[in-house]
Amino acid sequence: MSDLIKDLDILPKKEEKDISCEARISQDNAKDGQRKLYIESYGCQMNFSDSEIVASVMEENNFGTTSNVEEADLIFLNTCSIRDKAEQTVRKRLQHYNNVKKNKPGLLIGVLGCMAERLKTKLLEEEKIVDIVAGPDAYRDLPKLVAEVDEGGKGVNVFLSREETYADISPVRLNSNGITAFISIMRGCDNMCSFCVVPFTRGRERSRDPKSVVAEAQELFDQGYREVTLLGQNVDSYKWSDDENNKARLEKKEKAEDMEITNFANLLEMVAKVSPELRVRFSTSHPKDITDEVLHTMAKYENICNYIHLPVQSGNSRVLDIMNRTYDREWYLNRVEAIRRILGEECGISSDMITGFCTETEEEHQDTLSLMDIVKYDLSYMFYYSERPGTLAEKKFEDDIPLDVKKRRLAEIIEKQGVHSLERYKMCVGNTYKVLIEGYSKRSKEHLQGRTSSNKVVVFPKKDFKLGEYAEVKIHDCTAATLIGESI
Ligand code: SAH
Ligand code: SF4
Ligand code: F3S
């Protein structure tokens, strides 16, 4: 191992990586005379993106954001319900803010996002400190909810909409380095994966007007951004029509073949055409819906990144069936084969996986391991099953796999993923890649950090490069999470 690797301390951690527990904290935007808002976000990229919409709505109403919680007049926690652990994290934060509020009685606390939607007014009963509860479709209403609290009441809106996409709201970029940004292209989810709480917390699936998506991408590019990630729970089911009649038919889930519509492949192409210098990424793809048309569009445009997040959840067809994923092992492997055929061996593929789902046998768990051996993911987000109230699985099946078994199976897939990640990264050594420079390496200002098209992190000496530029980097070493190279 080179000294640089040791020096950078970028080896992946062995423990479970729970993306839902990561907190992102807001930036300083407040002007004089504005009340100050501090936003803490948990969960998926969609939630981080929503916090930017929230900041924008609040800014219009004389609230600026602050990164210093001590000067906040209002604290928003944008929450996640995906696993029990995610909710427990937020409960602990509320306890913490309870103590803060003792010394600052005027401080207002709002719970937003998926946990707000799931628990509704129960949150007000259970967590006395909470003043505002707002679900994911209620963010335009936040200033009114704050006003209700100012007048001595509580503010609650957990109404789920069939239309809201916040298309006209220009997000305040809180989570940004000025180079990469998220664009929400749809909201909600109509898939009913039996383990998943999202359809209940985010409501029905709806797509956003492609014109507003392209306009946002263009605006970001003009401001100097060089990468956008199009976000949706299932981007492959993106559909839009300006025609009222077609809209009604799409609502009824009629087949779209004979209609003039914009599908996800069309949208990808429209965004890619904003500029060849603007990289386009997207997340999440659903194995049942990802089409060859999307893969061919990716192949056609160099600036559409060669990377697909394609969560498998399990490698066993019976488990996939009771998870209600609506594909089986063969279908999934066929999609991976199409990716390799159309986009090549180098295309990055990542996954989400759940161990110890209801009734999963040891043999079925082995099928997940063997599927991993076939696909060889670059990266996976791996979890053990956490039963969620109100989901189909909670109603239909017993959560019967003991915690120690779930955890042992999880450890096995994490270990395998580590081997595959290293293998996939080693494949890159000796090659040269175009890297978008996103920042400095964590350890040294003398090294820059960026990513390849296939989403692999690259660290290399700075020389004369600036952030936001592209560099051709020759890779000479790697870990299972970082490529190390030299610009040429
Ligand atoms: N829309 C995305 C996933 C969103 S949730 C998709 O369809 O793939 C992110 C991940 O959390 C899921 O892919 C799944 O692996 C995991 N997850 C969801 N519900 C879970 C539960 N009840 N227990 C454990 N992991 C869960
Ligand atoms: Fe949840 Fe399935 Fe929808 Fe993803 S596709 S958000 S896992 S219900
Ligand atoms: Fe969590 Fe809601 Fe996202 S449950 S993962 S924040 S959609």
| Cβ atoms of residues 486 and 433 within 8 Å | no
pLDDT tier at 257, thresholds 50, 70, 90: confident
| Cβ atoms of residues 283 and 231 within 8 Å | yes
φ, ψ for residue 76, nearest 5 deg: -110, 130
CATH of the domain at 290: 3.80.30.20
- Nearest residue (by CA) to ligand 3, atom 7, is 198
Q: What is the pLDDT of residue 78?
A: 97
Of the residues 189, 201, 288, which should be mutated to test ligand 2's pocket, given the most ligand atoms within 8 Å of the CB? 189
Kindly state whether residue 292 falls inside one of the protein's structural domains: yes
Same domain, 141 and 27: yes
Q: What is the pLDDT of residue 249?
A: 82
User: What pLDDT digit, counting tens, does each position of 290-335 carry?
Assistant: 999 999 999 999 999 999 999 999 999 999 999 999 999 999 999 9
The answer to whether residue 347 scores a pLDDT higher than 80 is yes
- For ligand 1, whether the C-beta of 233 sits within 6 Å is yes
Same domain, 336 and 248: yes
- For ligand 2, whether the C-beta of 326 sits within 6 Å is no
- Nearest residue (by CA) to ligand 3, atom 1, is 80
Q: What is the pLDDT of residue 344?
A: 97
Report percent pLDDT > 90 for the chain: 85
Kindly state whether residue 122 falls inside one of the protein's structural domains: yes
Same domain, 269 and 127: no
Q: Compute the CA torsion angle 299, 300, 301, 302 (nearest 10 deg).
A: 60
Longest Cα–Cα distance in the chain: 65
User: What pLDDT digit, counting tens, does each position of 415-470 carry?
Assistant: 999 999 999 999 999 999 999 999 999 888 999 999 999 999 999 999 999 999 99
CA angle, residues 342, 344, 348, in degrees to nearest 5: 110
Give dist(CA 316, CA 340) in Å, integer.
21
User: What pLDDT digit, counting tens, does each position of 11-32 carry?
Assistant: 233 333 334 434 556 667 777 7
Q: Which residues are annotated as a binding site for [4Fe-4S] cluster?
A: 44, 80, 114, 189, 193, 196
CATH of the domain at 134: 3.40.50.12160
Same domain, 459 and 350: no
- Indicate the residue among 381, 408, 426 that finishes a domain: 426
Exposure on the CB side of residue 377, measured as CA atoms within 13 A: 27
Give dist(CA 228, CA 223) in Å, integer.
12
User: What pLDDT digit, counting tens, does each position of 215-248 carry?
Assistant: 999 999 999 999 999 999 999 999 999 888 888 8
Same domain, 418 and 483: no
pLDDT tier at 348, thresholds 50, 70, 90: very high
Kindly state whether residue 175 falls inside one of the protein's structural domains: no
Kindly state whether residue 348 falls inside one of the protein's structural domains: yes
Same domain, 308 and 393: yes
Same domain, 395 and 454: no
Same domain, 419 and 446: no
436's torsion region: left (phi>0), alpha (psi -120 to 50) or beta? beta
Same domain, 255 and 399: yes
Nearest to 262 by CA among 246, 282, 279, 238: 238
- Indicate the residue among 376, 403, 426 that finishes a domain: 426
Q: For the residues 336-351, what does the mean pLDDT come to?
A: 98
Global pTM value: 0.93
Between strands 74-79 and 470-478, the pairing is: unpaired
Q: What is the pLDDT of residue 75?
A: 96
Q: What is the pLDDT of residue 24?
A: 58
Q: For the residues 253-270, what does the mean pLDDT come to?
A: 88
- Indicate the residue among 391, 426, 461 that finishes a domain: 426
The answer to whether residue 137 scores a pLDDT higher than 90 is yes
Same domain, 226 and 375: yes
Kindly state whether residue 3 falls inside one of the protein's structural domains: no
Q: Which helix (H) or strand (E) holds 284?
A: none
What average pLDDT does the structure give for the chain?
92
φ, ψ for residue 77, nearest 5 deg: -110, 115
Q: What is the pLDDT of residue 26?
A: 61
Same domain, 146 and 277: no
Of the residues 320, 382, 383, which should be mutated to test ligand 1's pocket, given the most ligand atoms within 8 Å of the CB? 383
Kindly state whether residue 382 falls inside one of the protein's structural domains: yes
Q: Would you give the DSSP letter of residue 398?
A: -
Kindly state whether residue 11 falls inside one of the protein's structural domains: no
**Which ligand is nearest the CA of 311, by number?**
1
Angle between helices 210-222 and 264-272 (to 10 degrees): 20
Domain containing residue 433: 429-487
Kindly state whether residue 6 falls inside one of the protein's structural domains: no
Q: What is the pLDDT of residue 18?
A: 39
Q: How far is the CA of 286 from the centre of ligand 2 (A)?
A: 9
Same domain, 452 and 356: no
Q: Which residues pair with 487 in a beta bridge?
A: 473
| Cβ count near 89 (within 10 Å) | 21
User: What pLDDT digit, counting tens, does each position of 146-197 carry?
Assistant: 999 999 999 999 999 999 999 999 999 987 889 999 999 999 999 999 999 9
Structural domain total, the chain: 3
